[in-house]
């Protein structure tokens, strides 16, 4: 699961561009900052964590599904 | 098999843990423009620090002036934010007075090659045991996009509206020829190679220089019409070639392939050697002279 810190995100959308599984897409509506933040597409993410590393703004965290259950 | 599985799980540290451990969250979000690669340089450095397991109480970050030189402010560690171009001079002092410290310098292309060029070549010549992470974005980004010593010939800048007439400095070549013992250059798009390279640079006893080619999406991109953020990031990907591939094409490639090499920039670990560092030699001398 991909968690986004909207306070840190600046809307460069590099995560959407470089995701090898197309698991992210721009939100339809603008947020308070005036950007389209990335939102997760359901059942696409395989947890490769590339978006976490490619994000220049430290905004994305990939949480593994089994961690959530604990 | 089970042991291996357990080991793998221990090694998987989450990005949140790294950020909580190293970042000053009260300073975030950082000041860098949308699509700027300097944030990635910081991210990769944090991962390298975590992999290397450096004691943060024995680590000092130094920087000069410029966009990239704001980085130590975001890390929860002791740092020195020095005058323009003088970060390496301060680093020399820190390392020689207290050789136990790990000294890491963040610098930019203007700070390192322009204003602090003299300090840079002498730091390389002396081979002091420091790690320099230089962010090269081809332009003076913070002051409005003036020509830097690394701006490629023919590129536009606010002070070169008809194209830059001056030939550019190659930072990594300069470091090699001045005597640095570990020199690498990477783009920001691929995370793992720079992380490993920064880790190697931290391990190296001597002057280690890692040049990170970071896209300046505000000053350089607008002046040179580089298109959207994604197009600009991909431009770096097309423009660069791995040093190993470069050498193979030079040796065995066809004429066409060799012609293509002319505008390419080599990335990878460009130079590695073992030499005694200045701080080691000073320690040896102290032991020798003391009765």
CA distance B95 to B174: 22
**Tokens encoding A50:** 């590339």
Neighbours of B147 (CB within 10 A): 21
- The stretch B188-200 carries a mean pLDDT of 92
For residue range B109-164, what is the model confidence (pLDDT) as tens digits? 999 999 999 999 999 999 999 999 999 999 998 898 899 999 999 999 999 999 99
Which ipTM was obtained for this model? 0.90
In chain B, pLDDT over 70 holds for what percent of residues? 96
Closest CA–CA distance from residue B45 to any residue of chain A (Å): 11
pLDDT at B6: 55
Domain-wise residue ranges, chain A:
2-69
In chain A, pLDDT over 90 holds for what percent of residues? 26
**Tokens encoding B118:** 């003299």
pLDDT at B10 over 60: no
pLDDT at B2 over 60: no
**Which residues are CB-contacts of B103 (< 8 A; sequence separation ≥ 6)?**
B59, B60, B62, B91, B94, B95, B129, B130, B131
Q: pLDDT band at residue B201, thresholds of 50, 70 and 90? A: very high
Nearest CB partner across the interface for B23, out of A18, A53, A58: A58
Nearest CB partner across the interface for A8, out of B14, B28, B44: B28
CA nearest A3 in B: which residue? B16
Least confident among B74-88, B180-194, B256-270: B256-270
Q: Which of A56, A57, A68 is best to mutate for the B interface (most B CBs within 10 A)?
A: A56
**Tokens encoding B274:** 């073992």
Nearest CB partner across the interface for A61, out of B15, B34, B233: B15
CATH number of A2-69: 3.30.70.20
B185 and B211 in contact (C-beta within 8 Å)? yes
B4 vs B161, more confident: B161
Residues of A in contact with B29 (CB under 8 A): 7-8, 10, 57-59
- The stretch B269-274 carries a mean pLDDT of 93
pLDDT at B284 over 70: yes
CA distance B172 to B147: 19
pLDDT at A63 over 80: yes
pLDDT at A69 over 60: no
Q: Is A17 on the interface with B (CB under 8 A)?
A: yes
For residue range B46-56, what is the model confidence (pLDDT) as tens digits? 999 998 988 89
The DSSP result for chain B, as a single string, is -HHHHHHHHHH---HHHHHHHHB-GGGPSPSPPTT-SHHHHHHHHHHHHHHHT--GGGEEEEE-SSSGGGGGGGBSS-EEE-STT-HHHHHHHHHHH-TTSEEEEEEEHIIIIIITHHHHHHHHHHT-S-EEEEEE-SEETTTT-EE-TTSPTT--BTTBTT---SPPP-HHHHHHHHT-SEEEEEESS-SHHHHHHHHHHHHSSS-EEEEEE---TTHHHHHHT--SHHHHHHHHHHHEEEHHHHHHHHHH--HHHHHHHTT-EEEEEEEE-----HHHHHHHHHHHH--
Neighbours of B138 (CB within 10 A): 26
Nearest CB partner across the interface for B37, out of A10, A11, A56: A56
Q: Domains, chain B, ranges and CATH?
A: 31-289 (3.40.50.970)
Whether residues B39 and A17 touch (CB distance < 8 A) is answered with no
Whether residues A53 and B44 touch (CB distance < 8 A) is answered with yes
Whether residues B34 and A11 touch (CB distance < 8 A) is answered with yes
B197 and B186 in contact (C-beta within 8 Å)? yes
- The stretch B102-110 carries a mean pLDDT of 93
For residue range B23-48, what is the model confidence (pLDDT) as tens digits? 998 988 899 999 899 999 999 999 99
Whether residues A56 and B23 touch (CB distance < 8 A) is answered with no
pLDDT at B83: 93
């Amino acid at each position: 699961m991909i968690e986004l810190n909207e306070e840190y995100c600046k809307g460069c959308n590099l995560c959407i561009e470089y995701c090898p599984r197309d698991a992210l897409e721009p939100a339809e509506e603008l947020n308070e900052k005036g950007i389209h933040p990335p939102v997760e597409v359901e059942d696409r993410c395989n947890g490769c964590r590339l978006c976490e590393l490619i994000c220049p703004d430290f905004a994305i965290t990939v949480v593994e599904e089994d961690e959530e259950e604990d | 098999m089970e042991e291996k599985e357990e080991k793998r799980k221990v090694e998987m540290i989450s990005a949140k843990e790294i950020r909580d451990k190293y970042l000053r969250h009260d300073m975030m979000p950082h000041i860098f423009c949308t699509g700027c690669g300097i944030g990635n340089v910081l991210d990769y450095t944090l991962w390298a620090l975590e992999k290397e397991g450096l004691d943060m109480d024995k680590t000092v970050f130094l920087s000069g002036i410029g966009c990239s030189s704001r980085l130590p402010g975001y890390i929860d560690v002791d740092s020195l934010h020095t005058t323009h171009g003088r970060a390496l001079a301060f680093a020399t002092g820190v390392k020689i007075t207290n050789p136990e410290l790990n000294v890491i310098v963040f610098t930019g292309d203007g700070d390192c090659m322009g204003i602090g060029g003299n300090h840079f070549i002498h730091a390389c010549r002396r081979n002091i045991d420091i790690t320099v992470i230089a962010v090269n974005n081809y332009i003076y980004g913070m002051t409005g996009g003036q020509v830097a010593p690394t701006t490629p010939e023919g590129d536009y800048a606010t002070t070169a509206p008809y194209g830059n007439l001056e030939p550019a400095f190659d930072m990594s070549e300069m470091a090699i020829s001045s005597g640095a013992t570990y020199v690498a250059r990477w783009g920001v798009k691929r995370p793992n190679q720079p992380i490993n390279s920064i880790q190697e640079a931290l391990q190296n006893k001597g002057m280690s220089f890692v040049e990170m080619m970071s896209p300046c999406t505000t000053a350089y991109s607008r002046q040179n019409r580089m298109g959207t953020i994604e197009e600009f990031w991909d431009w770096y990907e097309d423009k660069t070639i791995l040093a190993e591939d470069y050498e193979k094409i030079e040796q065995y490639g066809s004429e066409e392939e060799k012609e293509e090499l002319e505008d390419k920039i080599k990335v990878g670990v460009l130079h590695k050697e073992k030499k005694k560092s200045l701080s080691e030699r000073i320690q040896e001398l102290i032991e020798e002279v003391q009765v």
